Amino acid sequence: MRRAFQPVAQESHRETNKEGDSNSPLTQTEVSASDDEDEGGIDGLTKSDDKPRLRMKRSFELLLKNGHVVRFEVRPII
């Protein structure tokens, strides 16, 4: 699992676990102070000047063993 870092999701990946352990995450989840500034929900998205960037920051990706990437968007409710 990794935090989304591109506005458009990739369809595939070639990354492997750094430690070689199949249960370890590929990357650490990054947290920034701006995460707390997201008002959440559709109201927060409506007020945003950069909607694609906010949607990306609300997203995380699952990197599957077969190389596919599945992206999920979280809509925080505050």
Percent of the chain with pLDDT over 90: 3
Sequence-distant (≥ 6) Cβ neighbours of residue 11 within 8 angstroms: 68, 69
Per the model's pLDDT, the better-predicted residue between 64 and 24 turns out to be 64
Q: How far is CA 73 from CA 4, 14, 45, 59, 67, in A?
A: 9, 22, 12, 4, 20
Return mean pLDDT, the chain.
75
| pLDDT per residue as tens digits for the range 32-63 | 777 677 777 788 888 888 888 888 888 888 88
**Section 70-75 average pLDDT:** 86
**Section 66-70 average pLDDT:** 89
> Burial letters for 23-60: b for 16+ Cβ neighbours within 10 Å, e otherwise?
eeeeeeeeeeeeeeebeeeeebeeeeeeeeebbbbbbe
Quote the pTM value.
Answer: 0.62
